[in-house]
Structure formats: structure tokens, C-alpha cells
Structure 1
Amino acid sequence: MNLAGLRTEVIGPVLTPDDDAYAQELSTFNLTVRHTPLVVVGATGPSDVQAAVRFAAAHGLPVAVLAAGHGSTTPSAGSVLITTRRMTGLNIDESGRTARVEAGVRWAELIEQAGKLGLGALNGSSPTVSVIGYTLGGGLGPFGRKYGYAADHVRSMDVVTADGELRTVTAQSDPDLFWALLGTKGNFGVVVAMEFGLFPIASFYGGGLFLPGELAGDVFHLFREWVADVPDEMSASVCLLNLPPAPFVPEPLRGRLVAHIRFAFLGDVAEGERLVAPFRALGEPVIDAVTELPYAAVAAVHSDPVDPMPVVEQATLLRELPAEAVDTILRFAGPGSDAPLVMAEVRHLGGALARPPATPNAVEIRHDARFSFFVAAVGPPTDDLTNYQRAFVGALDPWTTGRRYLNFMFAGDTAPATVALAYTDESFRRLREVKRRHDPSNVFRINHNIEPAA
């Protein structure tokens, strides 16, 4: 391999396993993932990405992409891996209510800047996730029931395709590629910049209500009934949370099971208080942090961890949440279960998340999914832990849609038949055809891969 030639073309670092900076360049959020590419390119801009893609294609190597490292699930051995953390351009058009971000921008930076202007975006639960990677996977966040998926509001993307060309793609310039990029992550190229719409979200009523674990049954059964009548302005989820007795955990939550209800309401504060009141009436809270919040404090809704850690996850989609499903969740993770989990979460979907977007994309779970279900544990992926999670999720099969959401697909979900579950049969055939046209050699295969049509 002509690494000397690649280094002359790339402004950023070009590293191999022999270089001292190699391991640091490959750091991820999920510490269970260890990347081992042949070459790492620390891209500073689109031209570095183009050089890396052309180098990979010339040597018959696959391309992998690493941004914040939350979605790292697929082994990168033998690849050319592009890191994007140096690509941090961020511009907000206040009057046009749009943002343009480069591939290394994380949600925390955009949330801060947009919040100063009285604007909000369709960010996810964690502020440390990369904006572009999250959006390419769909983008399910605290304001989804009101506005839909983040992917639904993308205006344009700058993408380096498998031939090393830099293209600006819109729904008008290339409707097939635009549609395919949104909902498939890195299957069709490296998106180096993205422009999308913002919303007038200066503040909202929300946050987290933590109730004692012994009330978990009351909380979950109330939640399944309560969601039947809430307006689209209310996005909510409920979670069984079992945090360790560690110094970074708030003292009231250390080493105990709690039921954590998360609210994000885009409406009148008094109406928000009325909607939350039934949960407050269940008993004395461990913590009640539900109040009127500025958009810049949106991370308080879920209070996701911000420090890297080893995480093992499983997820599925539910078409309904009857009492029997709730009882199953409580049996596996409720009081007395001694579950090896830190969380078991149900997110309410519906609203705008169930409606087709104005500009079509490949986020295909909206048709019949009413809830997302997710479990996570902290620690190495042992057989016992993985089997417990699979048994837990499998026990909910009577109420699942049979489909999967790409941003909640993990290391064990990369088999072709599993990847296909993120799409309708018709859409998956179309995606494979678009792949054949734009990446016939499947250069972009270090992901939940969509193989090109024959």
C-alpha cells in the first residue's frame, strides 16, 4: 500500500497500528467496541475523506467511519477507517431556521448555539452523539411526536460516494440517493455536511420524575393507559433504572431500583402539569425534576451518561403495550427480578412519528410501531448477559411489529436478514438497487450492511 502517497494527499493524520496515536484516534463511547483498521485517516475536511475513499477503492478495502463512537457496532478489521471529529463546522441561519453541520459536530454544540437563538432541533436523548450519524439512522428524540424524525427535516447533504466524488444531494437533484441516505447510516457514502430545519422551541415543560422501584408496576400500567389520550405535543418514555452505588450517580438514586418517567411537552405549562399529575399522584418521588426548561437544557429529559463506558444493548419495536406486556417487563426487570441491567425502557411513538414526511426517506418503522423497547447493561458482553437480554426481548415477541429501528440495532444485529427488518420488502429491494448504482463493490460495508443488487 502506498501510504506515503496517501499522506501527501491528506491534511490530517494517517495512522497505522505502529503509530503511538493510533489507539487514541480510535476511541469510542461504547468501550466494548475495539476498532482495528489497517489505516486510520483523521479527516479535516471533504478532500481528506475523498482521498481516503479513493485509496480504499484502489486497494480493494472497505471504508469505515467513526464520529462520536456511540453507534460503533461492526468490526473494522482490514478497513480504511475515517474519523470525522476534526470536522466541526456549524452554522445556524436564524431567520431561515436551518442549521448546517459538518460530520464531527455533536449535539451538545448545536443545542447550545440554537438555544441562544430561541430555536430547537430534533436531537436525541444524548448530547454526546454525532448529529449526522444520528440523523442518518433516523433520529428519534424528545420532540418526535410533534415534529417526526430528524431525517424528515433534512434539506441537503454533501456526501463522498464510493467513486471518491463529492456530491451535494437534495431531494430534487437526486431523489433516489437522497431517500436512501436517510435511514441507512453509512451504506451509501460518507456524509461530510448536512443542512436541516430547526424549530421555534425556546422552552418546553419536561424533565425526569423518579419514583421508588416498588411503584414500578403502578407506573408502567398507568403509562400504558395514559398514552392513549396524550396530544402529539407530549413525548414521553418510562424506564426501570437500576444504577450502581457509584459517586457519579446522584445520591438518591445510588444502588436502588427506580421508575424514571421522562416528559417533553411543547405546550402550555399548566397543561403540562395537568398531564404529568397522575404520575405525581402515585407516591412520594425520589426526585421530581419536571419543570419548565429552556431548550438548551433538553439533555435533562433523559439524563443520559456522558462518559465512555462498556454497554451491551438490545431493542425491539412494539405494535401495542397491553397489560400482559407490562407484566412481562416487570417480571424480567421489576422489583425482585435481580436483573443484570441498568435500564429497561419503553418510548411512546405515534403522532408525527407515524406519519409520512413531506420529503420521503428510508426510515421505515413508522407504519405500525407504537412503542420502542430498549434494554441496556454496563459491562463486558458475557454470554449470560447477552442471553438474558435476548430472552427478555424475545418474551415480548407476541406484541412486536417484527421490524427494527436502525439507531437501536447493535453488534448482534448485522446479519443480512436482520438488517432487512429495518425496512419494508419493497424499500429494501429499492435500497439494494440504489446501492448497485452508487456502490456496486460494496465499499461501504462496515455497518448494518445493505448489499448491492446482483
Structure 2
Amino acid sequence: MIARTDVEELHRQVRGPVLLPEDDGFAEELAGFNLAGVHHPDLVVGVTDAADVVAVMRWAAAHHEPVGIQSTGHGADQPMEGGLLVTTHRMQELEVDPVRRTARVGAGVRWRRVIDAVAPHGLAVLNGSASDAGAVGYTLGGGLPVLGRVFGFAADHVVALEVVTPDGRLRRVDAGHEPELFALLRGGKGNLGLVTAMTLDLVPLEQLYGGGIFYPGSAAQDVLSAFSRWAPTLPEHASTSVALRWMPHDPTVPEELHRQMLVHLRFCWVGPEEEGARVLAPMREAARPLLDLVGPLDYRDIDQVHMDATEPGLYVLTGEFLRDFDAAAVMTLLRRAGPDSGCPLPEVGIRLMGGALARTDGIRDAVSGRDAAFFLELIGWLAPHVAEATPPALAGILQDMAPWSTGRAFVNMHGVPGGESKHARAWSEEVYARLVRAKAFYDPDNLLRFQHVVGQDRSSPGPGQPADSSA
């Protein structure tokens, strides 16, 4: 338990709220997007700036109190028990330089705000399928953008990071200053410090053609088979994915699509409409669409491509990188998740990798998946009526698709990976070894032990000493 006197000491050092479970506003401060990962810390601190973060880290180190981090809570799939939770949603710094094509983004900023700030300048950011997610947390996991085949991972465009390491030191790192720490933060998630701000390159975007096509579930075999042949032939100006989806009763979804399994093709072409339409034509001919929403697209409307859920819920996300998605893989996936399978998952998707996602341009980082051809995305729902059926359904799909797996997972969609060997699957052996070495150097007391931690095999300390990451 944390003593009230220690809390009062911390309260004097920070500007943001410092709350114990019995305090008013405690539950609200914990609230995040993924309600399946509700945290139960002993203390929560709502930091307002880097100075607050420095004070919190120093206090945590002095009191041997482990630290967790949350911005929007989209990635809160592993509930935190005990410890100190730092919430960063008040850190809303955003500075856009349209001449240099850069943006400095605070730890609590959501992608939607950045998109709206840069779009008037003919620029874009490399956000994922949901613009409501926090920009920094998404990017630290590598960030798999909607336009990734054209521009690469979001982490590829980070030029500097401001990070408070567990010793309470604020560092500004880039390719020339602490380059190894800079490299491992880009794709290594939150193992080495709390990033208070990032500076990233923006990308020019004059023309975008994209959206989604919905087919009936009865056409799943035709559509997925056509996709498996068509997707690998695409030039890298095209980014695409396909998903088997149970469509919710949701105001963001056209009413005629509610409460049925559909096949959802997502497509984006960076270039003229006529070129994109020509590239997309084979999929428009694969089956008769129920709804075709692909057309010229303002990047501010990029959420229309994936139509992700916009309301908080009980989610679990996981997946695998695949080396192929051939005819046999299509049939295997349909047996497990097709319209006649009884699969309880609301979404099972296949995303095309390759293109710029496969290249590093000589830059060292911790991003995984560059050697993959596809990514298998699984979204589970833990509402009471499907809570028991969801975990075995996820496990069954992953097991059946194992022959096509590269053996690697993506840290931003890793689900609840379990022990150290499962966590390590998010990185290559070489990168994981580097992360473990850096963890021992920057966080020897293992303060940052929650979510996707590395180096879990350290033995537990004695009473009154810092706890290990397996706790």
C-alpha cells in the first residue's frame, strides 16, 4: 500500500491530479477505450507536461513503485494490478511546421487532431485504421498505417523523441544523440521510458482514392480467393486489406449492413482516381458488391476506409505475420471464421504487407514484420454472451494458420501474450536481445513492468526491493 504521506509528497511535485482509489475522479482518470483492460493501480497521476513526468519517475524510483502508462487506452489489453498509473491525455502539445513538413506531437494527442492540423497544408500523417487512437503509443509500437505500403511504418518517420527514462532524466534522442535508445523506442513500445513528445516527418498527399467495398458473406470464398491472387500483384501505391465482419448496429455503419456477416475490402491508392479504379477493377468483378464506397477521398475522412468501432468496448486484439496467403490458407481461414463457421469474432482480417513496409533505408529500429507478405488481424469481443467462446476462437484460428505464419507477432496487436517467450515473438532475436540489454541499462529496477515488457526472466527481489516484471 502507498502511504497517504508519500502521496502528499508527490502531489506537491506535480501540477496534475494525484489520486488514490478512494478519491473522487479516480475511476474517470483510469477510463480508456478498451474496457477489457481496466487497470487497478494503487495510485494514478494525470501528468500535464514533461516536468510532471520527471517528478513522477523520480518519486516512483525512490519508493520502488512500478509504473504503467496510458493515453487513450486503445492498447489496454493487459490489466494493470497495483503500482502507479501515469495518464498522459492532458499532454496536448502540437506544433506543425508545414515548410519543414514536420510535426511535434505530445504524449496525449490523438491522431484525429494531427490529421486535421496538417491536411490544410496538403500533408498527411501515417495513422492506423482509427484516428481516435493516441499518436505516440501507436508509433512506439511501430505503427502499421493505412497507407503503409506507400510510406512505410509510422516509426520510420520519427526524427526525434523526448523521453523520460526511469532514472527521472529527460532526454532528447535522435539518430545523432543516443542512437541506440532512439532506435529501440521506435518499435520497442514502452519498455525504456515514457515518451513525452515525438517529432515526425509529414508526407505530401495530393491525390487519394480509397474506401471500402462490402460483399455478402455468401461471396466470402470468391472474394478472398480473388484477393489472394490480386493483392500480391499490386504496385506499392496501393494499400489494401480484407476482413470477414459481423456488422454492428452502429450509426457509423450504413443501416442496410447492420447485423450480418459481410466481406469488407479496404483499398487506398495514392494517385489519380482513374489509375486507382483500374487497379481495383479485378476486385469489383470478383463478386457483386452490396455497397461500393471507394472514390476520391479527403485524408480527413481516412476513417471511412476501415470503419473501425468508435465506441469503447470489451475488445481483445491479436494477430500474426504471414509469409503467404494462398488458396489453402483461404480455405483454412474460411473453415474457422467464414459465414458458416459459427465463429464469434466480430472481425477477422488479412492485410497486405510489402512495399515500403519491407524497407528500412538503412535505419536501425525495433519494428517487426518487414519480411512478411500479409498480416492476420483478429478482433475479439468479450461481452458476456461471447466471453467464453472468444479466447478458444482466437487460439483456434492462430493454430490453424500457423503453417503460413512467419512466427512473429506485431506488438500493437499482440493481445495478451503471456510469458517472456510469447512477448519476444514481437521482435527478431537480435532486436529482442538489444531490448533486453537496454532495459537492464535504462531500467535496472524494472519500474516499467506493465504491458509488453521484455526481460521477464529476472528473479524476484527480496522484501523492500524493486519487484520483477513477471509480477
TM-score by length of 1: 0.97
- Conserved 8 A contact 2:420-2:457: no
Secondary structure at the residue paired with 1:9? coil
Secondary structure at the residue paired with 1:227? helix
Which residue of 1 is the match for residue 469 of structure 2?
Answer: none
Q: Quote the Cα distance in structure 2 between the aligned partners of 1:245 and 1:165.
A: 48
Q: Quote the Cα distance in structure 2 between the aligned partners of 1:369 and 1:223.
A: 17
Q: Quote the Cα distance in structure 2 between the aligned partners of 1:111 and 1:434.
A: 33
- Conserved 8 A contact 1:182-1:361: yes
Structure 2 counterpart of 1:175, one-letter code: P
Q: Does 1:316 align with 2:310?
A: no
- From 377, 391, 394, give the equivalent of 1:389: 394
Alignment of 1:237-256 (within 5 A): 237-245=241-249, 249-256=253-260
- Conserved 8 A contact 1:347-1:371: yes
- From 416, 419, 422, give the equivalent of 2:420: 416
- From 410, 416, 420, give the equivalent of 1:405: 410
- From 239, 243, 249, give the equivalent of 1:235: 239
CA shift for structure 1 position 357: 3.7
- From 22, 36, 39, give the equivalent of 2:43: 39
- Unpaired stretches in structure 1, ≥5 consecutive residues: none
Structure 1 counterpart of 2:334, one-letter code: L
Alignment of 1:173-252 (within 5 A): 173-245=177-249, 249-252=253-256
- Conserved 8 A contact 1:313-1:375: yes
CA shift for structure 1 position 245: 4.2
> Cα RMSD between the aligned structures?
1.5
- From 377, 381, 396, give the equivalent of 1:378: 381
Q: Quote the Cα distance in structure 2 between the aligned partners of 1:358 and 1:155.
A: 14
Q: Does 1:450 align with 2:454?
A: yes
CA shift for structure 1 position 247: 5.6
- Conserved 8 A contact 1:187-1:450: yes
Q: Does 1:269 align with 2:310?
A: no
CA shift for structure 1 position 118: 0.8
Q: Quote the Cα distance in structure 1 between the aligned partners of 2:99 and 2:362.
A: 21
Structure 2 counterpart of 1:372, one-letter code: F
Q: Quote the Cα distance in structure 1 between the aligned partners of 2:336 and 2:360.
A: 35
Which residue of 1 is the match for residue 25 of structure 2?
Answer: 21
- Conserved 8 A contact 2:381-2:387: no
Distance 1:387 1:428, change over 3 A: same
The 10-residue stretch of structure 1 (74-83 or 4-13) with the greater mean CA deviation from structure 2: 74-83
Secondary structure at the residue paired with 2:241? strand
Q: Quote the Cα distance in structure 2 between the aligned partners of 1:171 and 1:248.
A: 42
- Conserved 8 A contact 2:161-2:198: yes
- Conserved 8 A contact 1:435-1:453: no
- Conserved 8 A contact 2:66-2:449: yes
Q: Quote the Cα distance in structure 1 between the aligned partners of 2:392 and 2:115.
A: 37
Q: Quote the Cα distance in structure 1 between the aligned partners of 2:364 and 2:225.
A: 35
CA shift for structure 1 position 284: 3.1
1:374-429 superposed Cα distances (whole Å, 9 cap, x missing partner): 12132337333201110111100111001111111112x14110111112212211
Alignment of 1:65-104 (within 5 A): 65-104=69-108
CA shift for structure 1 position 214: 1.0
Secondary structure at the residue paired with 2:35? coil
Structure 2 counterpart of 1:214, one-letter code: S
- From 45, 52, 56, give the equivalent of 1:52: 56
- Conserved 8 A contact 1:39-1:79: yes
- Conserved 8 A contact 2:344-2:389: no
Q: Quote the Cα distance in structure 1 between the aligned partners of 2:456 and 2:348.
A: 36
- Unpaired stretches in structure 2, ≥5 consecutive residues: 459-471
Q: Quote the Cα distance in structure 2 between the aligned partners of 1:75 and 1:414.
A: 12
CA shift for structure 1 position 64: 0.5
Q: Quote the Cα distance in structure 2 between the aligned partners of 1:210 and 1:258.
A: 6
Q: Quote the Cα distance in structure 2 between the aligned partners of 1:62 and 1:202.
A: 46
Secondary structure at the residue paired with 1:431? helix
Which residue of 1 is the match for residue 435 of structure 2?
Answer: 431
CA shift for structure 1 position 202: 3.4
Which residue of 1 is the match for residue 8 of structure 2?
Answer: 4
- Runs (4 or more) in structure 1 with deviation over 4 Å come to 245-248
Q: Quote the Cα distance in structure 1 between the aligned partners of 2:221 and 2:213.
A: 15
Q: Does 1:336 align with 2:365?
A: no
- Conserved 8 A contact 1:32-1:310: yes
CA shift for structure 1 position 246: 5.2
- From 136, 140, 146, give the equivalent of 2:140: 136
- Conserved 8 A contact 1:314-1:390: no
Secondary structure at the residue paired with 1:105? coil
Secondary structure at the residue paired with 1:365? coil
- Conserved 8 A contact 1:152-1:360: no
Secondary structure at the residue paired with 1:205? strand
Structure 2 counterpart of 1:416, one-letter code: E
Q: Quote the Cα distance in structure 2 between the aligned partners of 1:358 and 1:202.
A: 27
Structure 2 counterpart of 1:371, one-letter code: F
- Conserved 8 A contact 2:252-2:307: no
Q: Quote the Cα distance in structure 2 between the aligned partners of 1:5 and 1:414.
A: 36
Q: Quote the Cα distance in structure 1 between the aligned partners of 2:378 and 2:285.
A: 27
Q: Quote the Cα distance in structure 2 between the aligned partners of 1:48 and 1:364.
A: 32
- Conserved 8 A contact 1:414-1:447: no
CA shift for structure 1 position 244: 3.4
- Conserved 8 A contact 1:219-1:279: yes
Structure 1 counterpart of 2:137, one-letter code: G
- From 117, 123, 142, give the equivalent of 2:121: 117
- From 270, 292, 298, give the equivalent of 1:294: 298
CA shift for structure 1 position 313: 2.7
TM-score by length of 2: 0.93
- Conserved 8 A contact 2:347-2:380: yes
